[in-house]
Structure 1
Amino acid sequence: MQKLVFICGLHRSGTSILHKTLAGSKNISGFHDTGIFEDEGQHLQSVFPPDMDFGGPGKFAFNEKSRLDENSNLITPENKEILLKEWGKYWDKEKSIWVEKSPPNLIRMRFFQELFPDAYFITISRHPIAVSLATKKWSKTPIDNLIKHWITAHQIYQNDRKQINKEIYLSYEEMVHSPDKVIKEIEGFLGTEIPFVNNFKNFNGKYFDLWNEDKAWQFLKKSRKKKSIELYENAVNEFGYSLLDFEKYPSLRLNKRM
């Protein structure tokens, strides 16, 4: 029986590079050449609604209906089989680990665990300023609202992960700074080797520069930036980040209840 792995993380958090890295293992099959944006599994199935039904990037976590948990009426044996059939078109049946990744997974872990009790979850976060500014072009949403969305989604995740049996959490920042360490931890978590070329690059700097430069105020007036820091700094600190100190980021952690 294959291990089913869900990659969880907001848009522009590093899920794509992580997915491609895992899929480079001889034992792991991910999605590729699906014809769908970023090969996201949410768009390759017919059981549950994709994030665009709830506003899309930078908005979906605000809609309570976008969250799915173990109480969803979508949890049926029939829907489990439909997902495996629809996603299975893109997995290599000969490989022992199958990976799916989509941004809404971050707030749907309990739903997937109920459907697939033996599922593994790999969660990745990235600094809220980088995620917000990178998502801006898609969402057409003010930066302060995007930061609030980042916090909202991660608060749901933080609460939900308490009920998840097998999950490993890492930050984009740690992945690009210490890829050997992070990949080794994931190898131990999944029980397989993951060969990779260390070509990870940290692109946070350009977003931090934009945040600090005057031209950023076309997106966010100075008063709104100051207000954002006042409103959200403590909340962001809860996740190991800071809107004032860009060098802070959380460390990898393993959540294994079984």
Structure 2
Amino acid sequence: MSTDHQLVFVAGLHRSGTTPLARLLAAHPDVSGFSGTGATEDEGQHLQDLYPPARTYGGAGRFALDPAAHLTEDSPLATEENARRLYRAWEPHWDTSRAVLVEKSPPNLVMTRFLQHLFPTSSFVVVIRHPVVVALSTEKWRRSTSFRDLVHHWVVAHETFAADASRVERKVVLRYEDLVATPDEALGAVARSLRLEGDIPTDQLETHRSDAYSSEWARRAAAGGREGKRVAAVVEEFSDRVERLGYSLTDLSARLSTPLFTSSADG
């Protein structure tokens, strides 16, 4: 579907920083995002009825484990008419006098190829946060899901995105840790990719939200008994896969080089 606007999809797992990132983008004078919609976190997934939202597949910490959540251009939903239908569902929630229109939903992480097929000139801003921090922060409100399973979900979700990323033409991939440590640099890269004039505001970022989770992980790792063994088991099972995605389970401050963080504005 062609449109006079530039559509930008913000993607990243729950608790990865998608909400503050989308709000920062929407604070730019040329950008409109969703606010005051009444939907959870003003997410576009809850403002449409074309594709199932994350809760259909188990919600936070679970959805990416269901193969049906992974939508591509091969989906029977990927039609021109459905592109128009989706745009019409979201359009009332945007200020269409702005040139750039932002939609944010965690399932976008495993739907990039699908959304790109519907809106071929769209861009993606993907934010990735350390799996330990995402798992610990999700664990607080998904107590029925084990920490091990939350890390597994993180790995599968990002492996899915990594496999799709080479076919996504316009994307910026950010580490949450870089966003809060050097926001001007991180958001400057986003602004250049989206061809925005002027800066994206950075005043809404909180810089130390991961510290408590890092301390909790260190405490668990040093603990004896079952708790320490559970940490060791997670490290043994997932270290290699996590490192291929740019992080370390033994050194939470490490940032590993990986093609996943190669961004592209024009393919």
1:224 to 223, 230, 236: 230
The answer to whether 1:212 aligns with 2:218 is: yes
Q: Quick one: distance in 2 between partners of 1:139 and 1:118?
A: 36
Whether contact under 8 Å (1:29, 1:98) holds in the other structure is: yes
Which residue of structure 1 aligns with residue 159 of structure 2? 155
Q: Quick one: distance in 1 between partners of 2:184 and 2:204?
A: 11
Cα shift readout 1:31-52 (whole Å, capped 9, x = no counterpart): 0001111111000001000000
Which residue of structure 1 aligns with residue 45 of structure 2? 42
Q: TM-score, normalised by structure 1?
A: 0.95
> How big is the shift at 1:194?
3.4
> How big is the shift at 1:235?
0.9
Amino acid at match of 1:202: H
Which residue of structure 1 aligns with residue 62 of structure 2? 59
Whether contact under 8 Å (2:221, 2:228) holds in the other structure is: no
> How big is the shift at 1:233?
0.9
How many residue pairs match? The answer is 256
> How big is the shift at 1:137?
2.6
For 1:156-175, list aligned pairs within 5 A.
Answer: 156-175=160-179
Which residue of structure 2 aligns with residue 235 of structure 1? 241
Amino acid at match of 2:45: Q
> How big is the shift at 1:198?
3.6
For 1:138-153, list aligned pairs within 5 A.
Answer: 138-140=141-143, 141-153=145-157
Whether contact under 8 Å (2:8, 2:124) holds in the other structure is: yes
The answer to whether 1:92 aligns with 2:111 is: no
Cα shift readout 1:139-159 (whole Å, capped 9, x = no counterpart): 221101100110000000000
> How big is the shift at 1:199?
4.7
Give 4+ residue runs of structure 1 displaced > 6 Å after superposition: none
Which residue of structure 1 aligns with residue 20 of structure 2? 17
Amino acid at match of 2:185: K
Gaps of 5+ in 1: none
Distance 1:25 1:163, change over 3 A: same
Whether contact under 8 Å (1:11, 1:131) holds in the other structure is: yes
SS in 2 for 1:236: helix
> How big is the shift at 1:253?
3.3
> How big is the shift at 1:15?
0.4
Amino acid at match of 1:210: E
Which residue of structure 2 aligns with residue 8 of structure 1? 11
Q: TM-score, normalised by structure 2?
A: 0.91
Distance 1:210 1:160, change over 3 A: same
Which residue of structure 2 aligns with residue 254 of structure 1? 263
Give the aligned CA root-mean-square deviation in angstroms. 1.7
Amino acid at match of 1:70: E
Distance 1:173 1:215, change over 3 A: closer
Equivalent pairs: percent with the same residue? 36
Amino acid at match of 1:122: V
Q: Quick one: distance in 1 between partners of 2:199 and 2:89?
A: 26
